[in-house]
Structure 1
Amino acid sequence: MSPDANRRIIRPSLRSVGAAAAASSYQINGLDAHDGKIVQVDGTYYLYGTRYGRGSSSACANSGFFWRQNGTPWCGFGVWTSTDKINWTFQRMLFDPLSANPASPIAPGESWQVTCGFGGAGCFNPRMVQRASDGVWILWFNAPGDYNRIGANAYYAMGCAGPAGPCGPGAGPHGSVHKPNLWTVFGNGDFDLVNDGANGVYIVGTMADQTLSVEQLDVWWTNGVRGVGKSRIGALTSVESPSVFRAGPYLYLTYSSPNCAFCSSDGTGWARSAGGMLGTWTPGGLLSSQSCTGQPRTLNFLDGLPYEWIDQWTPSGAPNQAIANIHLEGVHLDSSGNLLPFGC
């Protein structure tokens, strides 16, 4: 069992989260951390994000990452910690972006600089989860270049030494990297992992046609389950950046509407399901048309309450986003179980 297995993740209660309960917002400035997520373990908050800046890692000593620019370096994923949600301390890169990728379906052993840098496709969306059965920490992320090059699903799963990493081969007894087998979420886009307790663990992902699909994960949380999935949920189109949380009898989905890479002032849409992840998703409209001058990314639970991570892309549409800030907007429900518009 992992030495971190007895550390307690602070999870949401399965009751409705009242409008008066959640804090309104947090602003996190000055971190080169993007398209990420926050996990709370006991009294410590772990923030994971993709790095873009020059000097942010060994791979980016001389240049930052520029999306869709061939030959650009990929800077890697970082992790920061905080005990007050205000002051954040950089801990490490989750794995060396100059190291080898033995799980590449194209050329096993190629550098992550090839997997994530080919054509400037990047790697994004670091998602850290703790497997319930044995306490092992697992990092998922997407590498769109795999899909672009050979049509393979874009996703990877790494075993980690703990919530602050490191991850991948050599990172302790669980250090490993695996290319998940997926049958429904086989696309290339933004995604999130959803732990719905006894109902199972799922991946919800953006497909190449900008629709959303869901697939249940196996007992190891590293592969999909063939035949247990659903495509085009909510009949949504031109969307991306899905994330899900449960409150009471409903699951709630938020997403970027429309899809727009590095666009500030993008809309945040929502939908809900009373029938679980594979049930019928009913769209509820927009929570905001401008998303606090950013783009929604993930739902995060801080002290048991939900917040939407919003990337405030700066400049809007630019291929390098090293200076973009993070806005955490409180998510609120009314007495009928509908999500309320953002306050920003």
Structure 2
Amino acid sequence: MYVRRILTALVLATAALFATVPPAAGADPGEGGGATAAGDTASAPRAASPASFTISGTDLHDAQIARFGDTYYMYGSMYGCGFEWFVKSTPWCGFGVSTAPAPQGPWTAPKALFDPTTVDPWTDDSWQDTCGASGRGCFNPRMIRRSGWGRDDGAFVLWFNSPQHYAADGSHAYNAMGCASAEGPCGPAPVTDGFYRKPALSVCKGNGDFGIIESGTPGGHPAIVCTLPGSSQLNIEELDAWGSGGTGVGVRKVAGLKKIEGPGGYWDPVQRLYVLTYADPACGYCTGTPIGYATAPSLYSGWAAPGNLGWSAPAFGRRIFNGNSCGGQPRTVTVLDGRPWQIIDLWLGTRNEAAAATHLVPLAYTPTPGVAGDGQLWRPPLRLDC
């Protein structure tokens, strides 16, 4: 009888032990039929990160990809007509747009957003003269839609830069056009809902690359993030209710950055911060440019990039999170279906880049501890899984 009681006690104790063993590390507490508390997103399975992908054979470069409705649109500079950067009297091919049912494609053949031979209202010459005759080109087509902010009328506005405007009379290089739809055409009348404006800007008054950052505040206006002459600094300025000019609200010398280009950024709703990426340093058509980052809790204040310590230490030692941008050059960030993607041009290193491919890598910000001089391993919070 005594032995039987001992055996029974051992069986019960063993059963109790297995009933309270916690799930293995990394296991979802809800697996195996167990219930989780309603709204417990911390224990819910996390969606797998999508894979990087390359778009080849599409003559659209320094591109932006956006989703409007159920269709994805890719905007970019075209080279197929023979444009060669900084070769005078080269033909300028204009900006094109392609469409696809998914970011990975298949993409349609590009069509022009406006005719390069039409008049540039700022100079009264043609866009072919402004962008082609000098060889300086026109770049960075960025389409925005006034939806959920400003006039909130669903209208489309195309932004781009024309370095010749700055070279000719010191005007900033940026331009805004009204468009009839997400596929164009864009420009002044007779285009439906069309217009041309040299944007009123007081913070972004340069001639360099730029990107558009969406606001993380409901109803907040997007902002232009721009490089100043010679890429000597990076500035951000809020767009007005029309999306075709600035409000004067902004920040200058973001994180003290210099000699960079290809800026872009996004709002991370989980970490509650803005994340900015850029080519560091600036480099024309490079086949492997380092990419850096900066963050801020507010779009117009608090920007910081990791510093460095040591005699003759490079300033970018900790802000670089990939040394060669997957063999290309970072151009901007695009947010698709709530997920940010780094857009990278896989340049050929030539003055005509018609055959260059576009590479997209998903971005995810994972906070990591550590400061310069702590003697610990440094793991940047961003990475490129090429």
The TM-score normalised by the length of structure 2 is 0.77
In the TM superposition, residue 232 of structure 1 has moved relative to its aligned partner by: 1.0
Residue 76 to residue 282, structure 1, CA distance change in 2 (3 Å): same
Residues 78 and 90 in structure 1, CA contact (< 8 A), matched pair in contact too: no
Aligned to 1:325: 357
Residue of 50, 53, 57 corresponding to 1:30: 57
Matched residue SS, 2:109: strand
Aligned equivalents of 1:186, 1:236: Cα separation in 2: 17
> In structure 2, what is the Cα distance between the partners aligned to 1:66 and 1:22?
38
Aligned to 2:213: 194
Report deviation, 1:86.
2.4
Q: Deviation digits for residues 141-180 of structure 1, max 9, x if unmatched?
A: 0000000111100011000011111111246431111111
2:173 to 154, 158, 169: 154
CA distance in 2, matches of 1:137, 1:262: 29
1:142 and 2:161 are equivalent in the alignment:
yes
Query: Rg bigger for which structure?
Result: 2
Aligned twin of 1:252: 275
Give the conservation status (yes or no) of the 8 Å contact 1:160–1:171: no
**Distance in 2, Cα, partners of 1:332 & 1:124:** 27
Equivalent of 2:94, from 76, 81, 87?
Answer: 76
Q: Distance in 2 between matches of 1:239 and 1:281?
A: 16
Q: Is the 8 A contact 1:273 1:282 kept in 2?
A: yes
Please give the alpha-carbon distance, in whole angstroms, between the structure 2 residues aligned to 1:167 and 1:264: 32
The 8 Å contact of residues 184 and 214 in structure 1, kept in 2 or not, is answered as yes
What RMSD over aligned residues (CA atoms) do the two structures have, in Å?
2.0
Q: Does structure 2 conserve the Cα–Cα contact (< 8 Å) formed by 1:100 and 1:112?
A: yes
1:299 aligns with 2:333: yes
User: Following TM superposition, by how much is the alpha carbon of 1:19 offset from its aligned partner in structure 2, in angstroms?
Assistant: 9.0
Question: Displacement, 1:292?
Answer: 0.7
Whether 1:131 and 2:153 are equivalent positions in the alignment is: no
Give a deviation string over 1:46-92, Cα, whole Å, max 9, x none. Answer: 000100123xxxxxxxxx11111111111000000000322100252
Cα distance, 1:330 vs. partner? 1.2
Question: Is 1:214–1:278's contact at 8 Å kept on the other side of the alignment?
Answer: yes
Which structure has more RCO (C-alpha within 8 Å, separation ≥ 6)?
A: 1
For residue 300 of structure 1, give the secondary structure of its aligned residue in structure 2: strand
Distance in 2, Cα, partners of 1:182 & 1:169: 20
Letter of the 2:57 partner, please give it: G
CA distance in 2, matches of 1:263, 1:327: 14
CA distance in 1, matches of 2:106, 2:236: 35
Give the CA deviation at 1:32. 0.8
Partner of 2:182: 163
User: How far 1:293 sits from its partner (Å)?
Assistant: 0.6
Give the aligned partner of residue 60 of structure 1. Answer: none
Partners of 2:193 and 2:51 in 1: CA distance? 38
Are the counterparts in 2 of residues 161 and 171 from structure 1 also a CA contact under 8 Å? Answer: no
Structure 1 CA distance for aligned equivalents of residues 224 and 46 of structure 2? 28
Q: Show the counterpart of 1:7.
A: none
Indicate the SS of the match to 2:294.
Answer: strand
In structure 1, distance between residues paired with 2:108 and 2:96: 11
Question: Matches of 1:65 and 1:219 in 2, distance apart?
Answer: 35
Match of 2:244 among 212, 222, 226: 222
Task: Pick which of 36-45 and 162-171 moved more.
Answer: 162-171
Percent identical among aligned pairs is 40
Are 2:261 and 1:240 aligned?
yes
The equivalent of 1:343 in structure 2 is: 385
Structure 1 CA distance for aligned equivalents of residues 364 and 222 of structure 2: 24
- What's 2:343 paired with? 309
Aligned to 2:304: 282
Structure (1 or 2) with the greater strand fraction: 1
Structure 1 residues 177 and 40: CA distance shift in structure 2, 3 A: same
Q: Would you say the 8 A contact 1:118–1:145 is kept in 2?
A: no
Unaligned runs of 5+ in 1: 1-14, 55-63
2:106 and 2:292 map into 1 onto residues whose CA distance is 30
Query: Any conservation in 1 of the 2:58–2:110 contact (CA below 8 Å)?
Result: no
- 1:320 CA displacement: 1.1
Give distance in 2, aligned partners of 1:304 and 1:83: 17
Q: Which amino acid aligns with 2:252?
A: S
Count of aligned residue pairs for this structure pair: 312
Question: How big is each residue's C-alpha offset from its partner over 1:253-294, in whole Å with a ceiling of 9 and x where there is no partner?
Answer: 0000110011110011111101x2211211141221100110
Instruction: Give secondary structure in 1 for the equivalent of 2:67.
Output: strand
Q: Judging changes above 3 Å, is the alpha-carbon distance between structure 1 residues 188 and 82 closer, same or farther for their aligned structure 2 residues? A: same
| Counterpart residue number, 1:9 | none
**TM-aligned CA deviation for residue 336 of structure 1:** 5.2
> CA–CA distance in 2 between the matches of 1:341 and 1:217?
30
Residue of structure 2 in register with 1:48 after alignment: 75
